[in-house]
Amino acid sequence: AQSVTQLGSHVSVSEGALVLLRCNYSSSVPPYLFWYVQYPNQGLQLLLKYTSAATLVKGINGFEAEFKKSETSFHLTKPSAHMSDAAEYFCAVSEPLRGNEKLTFGTGTRLTIIP
């Protein structure tokens, strides 16, 4: 069964520093992978999506993620953190080739930006 593990439920970085949020997945077939962001008391918004094309995926707000099959990872990065990046981030996986229509989410990482 597909699954996602997000290492670190809370991450704090200084404004202007590198943001690195970790995501490892488990899937028996080539997966689709997603990163979503959630601001307090709001729904989720898609940051970026991997669908077996380029392994480096660029998203909105300066975020990007790299698919590494050998490490089963899809870590999210941003070169320079901004105060507005403070939010909760969710990694998610689906298995289209198995006809699995469900999206499985990780438990989330709360990102705090230190002024």
Partner 1 sequence: DGGITQSPKYLFRKEGQNVTLSCEQNLNHDAMYWYRQDPGQGLRLIYYSQIVNDFQKGDIAEGYSVSREKKESFPLTVTSAQKNPTAFYLCASSWASATDTQYFGPGTRLTVL
β-pair type (73-78, 64-68): antiparallel
User: Strand ranges (DSSP E) for 2-63?
Assistant: 3-5, 10-14, 19-21, 24-26, 32-38, 44-50, 56-58
Nearest approach in angstroms of CB 79 to partner 1 is 25
Q: Which is nearer to partner 1, 17 or 100 (CB)?
A: 100
Nearest approach in angstroms of CB 58 to partner 1 is 15
Which x/- pattern, by CB under 8 A, does the window 3-42 give for partner 1?
------x----------------------x-x-x----xx
